[in-house]
A and B are shown apart, each in its own frame.
Chain A
Amino acid sequence: MSREDVLVTTQWAEENLNTPGVVFAEVDEDTTAYDSGHIPGAVKIDWKTELQDPVRRDFVDKSGFEALLSDKGIANDDLVVLYGGNNNWFAAYAYWYFKLYGHSNVKLLDGGRKKWELDGRELSTDEVKRDRTNYTASEPDTSIRAFRDEVVDAIGTKNLVDVRSPDEFSGKLLAPAHLPQETAQRGGHIPTAVNVPWAKTANEDGTFKTAEELAELYREAGLDTGKSTIAYCRIGERSSHTWFALHELLGLEDVKNYDGSWTEYGSLVGVPIETGTGN
């Protein structure tokens, strides 16, 4: 797989804003940015209210995904270009999620909203309304999603990649530094996990590093690319970003995202936790 198969540049995006069969979608946890200005023609997907189940701790099921995409005017054969704030974390989550439900023709805008803004490209506040479609999703592909028992079993056998910041990994912080430290979970990381913060996979403008740079990064971190890999963070969106780097850009075959991540693992009774900088 090459970079062009999974990423588009901001330049390509600007040139294809009106191309039939191409749908841009901005995905964020907080959609106020979209409301203040978005890529012209892009639809809005709210990570929290539209991609998460409102009651259970899980994401929406197959029928919910079908209803959502139909309502957004996205057809099965559309090329969906996802982008968002926070260096594409939530867009990467949505990408993983689109793949999980079988939408093969999906790409990320390299650099996301940040790169688009830093380029000084146009933002629009026009309301976007696309004609309703009749979207059909596949059964979820769990070969790319890890659950807790599998994660506990992976200790010492599979690669575990903790993509949080070093202070979260060591247990010094419970949340990223831009958030109040108000969570109740235990701090630390899953034993045997290596800490490769998601940010090391990206340039400061939000674009992904090259495949060569990524390969070097994970080689230095001691990742055995012959083994299966599970990535996790706090709630599963930063690890979607790393899942994208490992699975889509580096082409590693068996890579799963553990979207339960530290908010689940750090609250489980009886599982092993390691603090400090690890090995």
Chain B
Amino acid sequence: MSADGCGAPVQTATPADIDTGGQVVVAGKVTGGDGPVGGAYVRLLNGDGDFAGEVQASPEGDFRFYAAPGSWTVRALHRTGNGEASVNAEGPGLHQVAISVA
């Protein structure tokens, strides 16, 4: 993703051994009753509930954010339902979070 763009890039799965290059990465998968849910809108909200970013999950339900350290809520919206989960990302590295929508 080049620095001159601003839209959310196409999402892919994040390997568990990813080198985050010193960045705080919040990543995971959206699932429903029948497994992964593709195409959900995934929103990153800070500790105050304020919006920080949004991506559209991949067809396999994967999403990834580059955040600042802190406590985050990740909320998924899909035509079949919504869901959310919390993650505490204290420092650099990969912080995984799973969201189930219903």
Give the interface size class of chain B. 20 to 34
How distant is A266 from chain B, measured CB to nearest CB, in Å?
A: 12
B43, A204: Cβ atoms under 8 Å?
Answer: yes
A85, B66: Cβ atoms under 8 Å?
Answer: no
List B contacts of A177 (CB < 8 A).
Answer: 44, 52-53, 65-68
Q: Mark A148-188, 1 if CB is under 8 A from B, else 0.
A: 00000000000000000111000011011111111110000
A256 within 8 A of B: no
A178, B3: Cβ atoms under 8 Å?
Answer: no
Of A117, A118, A179, A235, which is within 8 A of B66 by CB? A179
A38 within 8 A of B: no
Please report the C-alpha to C-alpha distance between residue A179 and residue B3 in the assembled complex, in whole angstroms: 8
B54, A86: Cβ atoms under 8 Å?
Answer: yes
Instruction: Knowing A87-B54, A117-B39, A199-B51, say if A176 contacts B6 (CB, 8 Å).
Output: yes
Instruction: Knowing A85-B56, A181-B66, say if A90 contacts B7 (CB, 8 Å).
Output: yes
Of A86, A87, A175, A197, which is within 8 A of B3 by CB? A175
B41, A118: Cβ atoms under 8 Å?
Answer: yes
A178, B9: Cβ atoms under 8 Å?
Answer: yes
How distant is A113 from chain B, measured CB to nearest CB, in Å?
A: 9
B77, A86: Cβ atoms under 8 Å?
Answer: no
Q: Mark B37-81, 1 if CB is under 8 A from A, else 0.
A: 001010110100011111110000000111110000001011100
Instruction: Count residues on chain A whose CB falls below 8 Å from chain B CBs.
Output: 43
B8, A86: Cβ atoms under 8 Å?
Answer: yes
B34 within 8 A of A: no
A235, B78: Cβ atoms under 8 Å?
Answer: no
List A contacts of B23 (CB < 8 A).
Answer: 180-181
Give the residue among A120, A179, A233, A263 with the most B Cβ atoms within 10 A: A179
Interface residues of A, Cβ cutoff 8 Å to B: 28-30, 32-33, 47-48, 85-87, 89-90, 114, 117-120, 165-167, 172-173, 175-184, 197, 199-200, 204-205, 233-235, 237-238, 263
Would you list 24 pairs from A and B whose C-beta atoms are within 8 A, ordered by A residue?
A29-B5, A29-B6, A29-B7, A30-B9, A86-B8, A86-B54, A89-B6, A90-B7, A114-B77, A117-B41, A118-B78, A120-B79, A166-B50, A175-B6, A176-B52, A177-B66, A177-B68, A179-B1, A179-B8, A181-B66, A182-B3, A197-B51, A204-B75, A233-B6
